[in-house]
Structure 1
Amino acid sequence: MGKDLDKAAYDHLWMHFTRMSSYEHSPVPTIVRGEGTYIYDAAGKRYIDGLAGLFVVNAGHGRHELAETAYKQAQELAFFPIWSYAHPKAVELAERLAQLAPGDLNKVFFTTGGGEAVETAWKLAKQYHKLTGNPGKYKVISRSVAYHGTPHGALSITGLPALKAPFEPLVPGAHKVPNTNIYRAPAHGDDPEAFGRWAADRIEEAIVLEGPDSVAAVFLEPVQNAGGCFPPPPGYFRRVREICDRHNVLLVSDEVICAFGRLGTMFGCEKFGYVPDMITCAKGMTSGYSPIGACLVSDRIAEPFYSGGNSFPHGYTFGGHPVSSAVALANLDIFEREGLNQHVLDNEAAFHATLSKLTDLPIVGDVRGNGYFYGIELVKDKATKATFSDEESERILYGFVSKKLFENGLYCRADDRGDPVVQLAPPLTADQSLFDEAEQILRGVLSEAYTLL
């Protein structure tokens, strides 16, 4: 049966972001079960889930309560759209999210995932400005190397040229500014506040250069994922908020990863003390037990859509799905009952300290992140911060590190969309024993990797 499953996986399952030829003569890694912070493959081998699936399974695997909630809701109402109609679970979840969100973000537009939430936010920003007398405002500012999703609009906002090239031309009007990678800061690298001002001011510079009457929104993650977990410098988001307000530009906090406890707060913007005009979220809302996403919108931005004959002509068949909405509510119950956010806040320093032990290795240049969301940047030379060549990334990061970590029992992400990094974002239930186990696996593999340079 195992061989048949492997063959079927290669013959019929087109895996996402995957070089399919790599499995022509080798088995596809097949995960069959999860329990807590661990996953198990078809042969019964156990692995640390060091990425919570894909920054998703925040409450951990094997939550029977969430499966039972889905079963019960599917028996009662398996599906009904929220196109001019409502159903109880979508209403309850929208109200709950509005209560949890900061400021006046009281309107919830449901999607099926994160990319669709980002797509929604850009479309909504453009129409908002048209309805309020600024029809020329359509452009978006986002950051270099940032990933915001795969739909054409979200991909345009994404700052990864290699991901966009096969699909160009994309949606016009998406412009990029520097990110907050202080490890490779062009200036003020030894002064985080000065670097934060410099990085934020690049956003204002771009708005002015493009023309404030043409810029609709700025899209930023609280902690940038692609490139390896860039946290914001002190004061960065306060200054960005001021810049957006000065130029009548909407601030969208893309929290597809950072919401629902990843940073120890329900929404990532709370961790850094800013209130955006919109929040895009998905992944951890249900801990992955059923797909859902959302765009949370402030009352101010929603107001013109609630007037007269106006509407937002946009939607998704499965947005606000009854089963997903019910599961999300049950997942939020678990968060509150078990204090998962506080667990992250109580343990994030220990997680950082444990991973930071790896900086004694010559291949580890930087360990950075926030909450339960960390990146380990790999270098050839710590003194010069020299990074890998393309050949070295292919041979060492993908050809050795990624495979060897998995072989040794750690599922995580090895990535070179910016500079080469290994990312860890375990379920929020993880504790010191898992941190130590992961550090030991990383230490062995990265030590060996350095000998291959």
Structure 2
Amino acid sequence: MTISPLNDLNPGLDADSSVDLQELAQQHLIMHFTGAGAYNEAPPRVMVSGDGCWLTDSTGKRYLDALAGLFCVNVGYGYGAEIGHAVQQQMATLPYFSNWGYAQPPSILLAAKIAELAPAGLDRVFLTSGGSESNEAAVKLIRQYHQARGEHSRMKFIARRVSYHGTSYAALSLNGMTNFKKVFEPLMHGTRHISNTKRYKRPFGETEEQFTALLLQELEALIVQEGPDTVAGIFLEPLQNAGGSLTPPEGYCAGVREICDRHGILLVADEVICGFGRLGEWFGSTRYGMEPDIITFAKGVSSGHVPLGGMITTSAVIDTVLSGPQGMYLHGLTFGGHPAACAAGLANIAIMEREDILGHVRRTEPYFRARLSELLEHPLVGDLRGDGFHYSLELVTDKNARAWRSTISSNDFVAQHLNPALVDAGILCRAAVDHEGTPLIQFSPPLVFDTDDINFLVDHVRTVLDAMSNIDGLTA
């Protein structure tokens, strides 16, 4: 078979097309985090177009994208031509040049714009192509920072259990999801993990103040045990995605900041998902008063239209590194700050400002939460948590015990029943099993999601849950 350029294939993406894209995918495309069945059993769905918050596959079936692609298509699918035009103009002017000792207008302007949007004091920007690269960059910056200060023993990093920070070497080491990392161990030396901020299933009667105190005591105890002079940095997502939209309790962020200051540890906010409007602010750190030394970002900065990410830090941190023995930040990427990608990022931010996307999230959040809260009455829904445009439902079969107790395992339930039913209903979201063996349904839609989209989502999810309740053998 001779494969034609994509622009020649586009007219033929219908049932009469001579090109079987599903077959080609099975034969040639290695898909990300995709089970073996997609290669030798049911082929993958092929998405061919998008508009607003909706996607259409190669068969013509439409889906409501309630996960913004992969937590990234923040402006939805209606601005591709506008962002693409900005990319086209840049490609016609300067398609590529590096940031290794040089700069070009788009990378300069994007760095300046991000510094303008970032929390006060965070004004220096290093650009990458994605989230894992951004967290790798932060690890290397922190290591160099402490070495420049003569604190060579500071090599350890702390993150939270079940956290997700990427798939590259250092980022994978930071992950608190053991099922993703154990195959590749040993990884980066000196990573440690503390409890996350999940409240559901905590002891009855525990106050939020008590929970915060417990979490901070655990962090302090770990630092003391490891030796404060050995700990370099702490990585936290403002709202933790993995584990199901885990928000910080009152006083937690301020307490972590105080501990970091007292022990000379740098605090990193991993905002790969939370950044660029997901929580109704440009950065989730602002919503929760986190005050990090470094922010890492990706996904929403370009609304996923091109690969783009980065790291924001303070002048104090980067100037310490630049004044150190090496006289430079010892890190670089061929495509970091790519001019076409930066042009897309600038266009995306301009759209978000012009359309008041953040204001829309803040105005719509109460309605979104209220409609999702109705699902708490369903016999299978144990918990709803999240903020802004990021929520998770935790499913249980025993509400009193807050547990999944069934003759059908949670993994089989999600893989064989829940996820197929959601997709058949035209809902694209994340159905998974958390670290405690409990099914989750996660929603993180485009930030242009409106009340009609919310109503469609909630009504169809309720219908799916009703069908799940009738599965034989579900109740133990």
Same fold judged by TM-score > 0.5?
yes
Scaled by the length of structure 2, the TM-score of the pair is 0.92
Matched, 1:275 2:294: no
Superimposed CA distance per residue, residues 110-149 of structure 1 (whole angstroms, 9 cap, x where no aligned partner)? 1110011011111111111011111100111110101110
Aligned to 1:19: 35
**By how many angstroms is 1:4 displaced?**
1.7
Scaled by the length of structure 1, the TM-score of the pair is 0.97
3-state DSSP class of the match of 1:176?
strand
Aligned to 2:261: 245
- How far apart are the structure 2 equivalents of 1:129 and 1:46? 52
Report matched runs for 1:47-446 at 5 Å: 47-63=63-79, 64-185=81-202, 187=203, 190-307=206-323, 310-387=327-404, 392-418=409-435, 419-446=438-465
3-state DSSP class of the match of 2:122?
coil
Superimposed CA distance per residue, residues 225-254 of structure 1 (whole angstroms, 9 cap, x where no aligned partner)? 001100111111011100100100100000
Q: What letter corresponds to residue 422 of structure 1 in structure 2?
A: I
Identical columns (%): 43
- How far apart are the structure 2 equivalents of 1:197 and 1:252? 21
- How far apart are the structure 1 equivalents of 2:47 and 2:336? 28
3-state DSSP class of the match of 1:183?
coil
- How far apart are the structure 1 equivalents of 2:39 and 2:412? 17
Q: What letter corresponds to residue 401 of structure 1 in structure 2?
A: L
**By how many angstroms is 1:182 displaced?**
0.5
3-state DSSP class of the match of 2:234?
strand
Q: Looking at CA atoms only, which structure, 1 or 2, has the larger radius of gyration? A: 2
Q: What letter corresponds to residue 56 of structure 1 in structure 2?
A: C
**By how many angstroms is 1:382 displaced?**
0.7
Q: What letter corresponds to residue 443 of structure 2 in structure 1?
A: L
- Kindly report the root-mean-square deviation, in angstroms, between the aligned alpha carbons of the 2 structures: 1.5
3-state DSSP class of the match of 1:184?
coil
Superimposed CA distance per residue, residues 397-417 of structure 1 (whole angstroms, 9 cap, x where no aligned partner)? 121111110111100001114
- How far apart are the structure 1 equivalents of 2:65 and 2:467? 22
**By how many angstroms is 1:196 displaced?**
1.9
Deviates more, 1:141-150 or 1:303-312: 303-312
Deviates more, 1:213-222 or 1:189-198: 189-198
Q: What letter corresponds to residue 127 of structure 2 in structure 1?
A: F
Deviates more, 1:370-379 or 1:14-23: 14-23
- How far apart are the structure 2 equivalents of 1:72 and 1:228? 40
Shift in alpha-carbon separation, 1:17–1:234, aligned structure 2, 3 A? same
Structure 1 moving runs of 4+ over 3 Å: 187-190, 388-391
Contact 1:145 1:227 in 2 (8 A): yes
What are structure 2's unaligned runs of at least 5 residues? 1-16
**By how many angstroms is 1:320 displaced?**
0.6
**By how many angstroms is 1:273 displaced?**
1.4
- How far apart are the structure 2 equivalents of 1:102 and 1:17? 34
Shift in alpha-carbon separation, 1:407–1:2, aligned structure 2, 3 A? farther
What are structure 1's unaligned runs of at least 5 residues? none
Contact 1:107 1:296 in 2 (8 A): yes
Q: What letter corresponds to residue 399 of structure 1 in structure 2?
A: Q
3-state DSSP class of the match of 1:106?
strand
- How far apart are the structure 1 equivalents of 2:205 and 2:98? 50
Superimposed CA distance per residue, residues 372-430 of structure 1 (whole angstroms, 9 cap, x where no aligned partner)? 00011111211101136796222211211111101111000011143321100111111
3-state DSSP class of the match of 2:274?
coil
Superimposed CA distance per residue, residues 255-274 of structure 1 (whole angstroms, 9 cap, x where no aligned partner)? 00000000000011000112
Aligned to 2:8: none
**By how many angstroms is 1:450 displaced?**
2.6
